[in-house]
A = this chain, B = another copy of it.
Amino acid sequence: MRLGVLGTGMVGRTLAARWAELGHEVTVGTRNPASQLARSDRAEAFSAWLAEHPGVRLATFADAAASAEIVVNATAGGSSLDALALAGAEHLGGKILIDVANALDPSRGMPPSLLVDSHESLAERIQRAFPDARVVKTLNTLTAALMVDPGRLADGDHTVFVSGDDADAKAEVTRLLTELGHRDVVDLGDISTARGPELYLVLWLRLWGALGTAVLNVRVVR
């Protein structure tokens, strides 16, 4: 598949690297590729990471979305709507838009609280802003390393969720999740069900604190 991963943070890098490794054609989108390559302020500079991943291309948000069959929102949740506006509604229409973001609000102390509540999720806001995109929420409940390698925890015996209004889009995303190694994919329902996994992040953050590791997940027992 041709995948456009929007966002150059840890999540975007991890997904892009793994999908390129699996043979997909991956473009990472950023606001300004030239300034992104010039930045050296990150723990690991993006330019160095990109040099180690020759299968991954860097482009603007718009170019990454335009060239992709499936677009992935891996930007910070608080700025996702801005990033997707730069990607352009005309480059998202009809396409699957996988939303893995969390709308964290670090301004009120740590662990961060959220910019969403039980009345509306980020995924719903994205679907409302881009009604022609086929938004599927998934993977936001996992640390990046587990998104692409669930088997490193309990042989992958734990759960991920999908939420979205388009059944075909969810089936396609479930195929991508299975390819990454996910064995238990629970379809929660329409895009409003994304409120569940988005608010769960507050529990996830507290579990991280209590257990001392982000390599954790839940298994839905039923």
B219 touches A206 (CB 8 A): no
Chain A binding site: helix, strand, loop or mixed by DSSP? mixed
B206 touches A216 (CB 8 A): no
Each complex incorporates copies of this chain amounting to: 2
A206 touches B195 (CB 8 A): yes
Scan A201-215; emit 1 where CB is below 8 A from any B CB, else 0. 011111101110101
A220 touches B216 (CB 8 A): yes
Q: Is A69 an interface residue (CB 8 A)?
A: no
CB proximity of A196 to chain B, nearest CB, Å: 3
A114-B118, A118-B199 as given contacts; A206 in contact with B188, CB under 8 Å: yes
Interface window among A2-10, A37-45, A153-161: A153-161
> Residue A221 contacts which of B154, B199, B206, B222 (CB distance < 8 angstroms)?
B154
Which chain B positions have C-beta within 8 A of A193?
A: 206, 209-210
Q: Is A187 an interface residue (CB 8 A)?
A: yes
Which chain B positions have C-beta within 8 A of A114?
A: 117-118
Interface residues of A in 125-157 (CB under 8 A from B): 153-154, 157
A199 touches B203 (CB 8 A): yes
Q: Is A174 an interface residue (CB 8 A)?
A: no
CA distance A205 to B196 in the complex (A): 8
A216-B221, A221-B157, A222-B216 as given contacts; A207 in contact with B196, CB under 8 Å: yes
A195 touches B189 (CB 8 A): no
> Residue A218 contacts which of B118, B154, B206, B219 (CB distance < 8 angstroms)?
B219
Query: What are 16 A-B pairs with beta-carbon distances under 8 A?
Result: A113-B195, A117-B118, A118-B199, A153-B222, A159-B218, A186-B211, A189-B206, A189-B210, A199-B202, A200-B203, A207-B222, A211-B220, A213-B222, A216-B222, A218-B218, A218-B219
- For the complex of A and B, the 3 pairs showing the least CB-CB separation, nearest first, are A196-B203, A218-B218, A113-B118
